[in-house]
Amino acid sequence: MDSKNQWQPFSYDQKLGFVSEFGKDLLSLLNPSKDEIILDLGCGTGDLTYEISRSGAQVIGLDASAEMIGRAKEKYPDIQFCIGDAQHFNLLPHLDAVFSNAALHWMRDAEGVAKSVWNALKPGGRFVAEFGGANNVSTIVHAITDVLTAKYGIDAAARNPWYFPSPGEYCTLLEKQGFIVRLSYYFDRPTRLQDGEDGMLSWLAQFGDDFFQGLGPEVTREACLKIGAKVREALWRDGAIYADYKRLRVVAEKPADSKTLL
């Protein structure tokens, strides 16, 4: 299933800046070098693409959202940004690295992603990524499911756009493609949402479109308020909602003696 999420780039930058802020730490694993050619897969509004470019690397940002790419081009006009399907992209095998932060969990065809990354990398190239792992935002997902099923008769599971694999599941997928997994790290990252009591509303407005297709704005807001109330007991502290993020980091290498799959 392809996500129908309608991205809102200005709101994303204003209210969800933690996405790129947390991603800066991932750049130390990428360790980009001058003159390398690097793809930022699922680049969003381009903040981490820009950080990579500061190393002197030649970086390309790819994202499926025309709105997010438009915003990235406005912010960083000297960087190359492209609209494209990160699950099935075709680049010549000339990349030194593929980087991805907080994007792979939107790509349900994980095998397609792995194959595309493999084909784009030079032998010896590396894949560095972080995304939602098993049970990511599980409290929120359960609340969405409970509210939509009980109140509106909607099969929320069928609308769920996310892919949250376990470390073993994802590493096995990469190894089947031919990668050598150099690092796999699964960890909790409780994440404070902005806007206090309305933090859950803002989060759902940015990330939850798939669940509310066909409900209309008034019913969607009603459902979001019910979801917010349901998660509050578990996730509220210190005047804010803390989303129950669980992240998976991987560093994988395409062996130097490998062949590109055609």
Q: Domains of the chain, with CATH numbers? A: 9-136+162-193+244-253 (3.40.50.150)
Residue 20 is predicted with a pLDDT of 55
**Helices of type H across 121-239:** 138-152, 156-159, 167-177, 199-207, 217-235
Mean pLDDT value of segment 187-205? 90
- Per-range mean pLDDT, top range of 61-75, 122-136, 207-221: 122-136
Task: Pick the more confident residue, 92 or 35.
Answer: 35
| Cross-strand partners of 95 | 121
How confident is the model over 195-224, as a mean pLDDT? 91
Q: Which residues pair with 82 in a beta bridge?
A: 62
- pLDDT computed for residue 156 by the predictor: 95
Query: Does the pLDDT at position 240 exceed 50?
Result: yes
Q: What is the pLDDT of residue 3?
A: 55
Residue showing tokens 């050598």:
180
Q: For 12-47, b where at least 16 C-beta lie within 10 A, e where not — what string?
A: bbebbebbbebbeebbebbebeeebbbbbbbbbbbb
**Distances in Å between the alpha carbon of 9 and those of 46, 73, 99?**
10, 12, 20
> Bridge-partner residues for 83, per DSSP?
63
Residues with Cβ < 8 Å from 168, sequence gap 6 or more?
none
Cα separation values, 206 from 15, 126, 200, Å: 9, 31, 10
89 vs 80: CA distance, rounded Å: 16
Ranges 197-201, 207-211, 246-250, most confident: 246-250
What is the pLDDT, as a whole number, of residue 197?
Answer: 84
Task: State pLDDT tens for residues 46-91.
Answer: 999 999 999 999 999 999 999 999 999 999 999 999 999 988 888 8
Identity of the amino acid at 77: P
Q: Is the pLDDT of residue 37 over 80?
A: yes
pLDDT digits (tens, 9 = 90+) for 11-36: 555 545 454 566 678 999 999 999 99
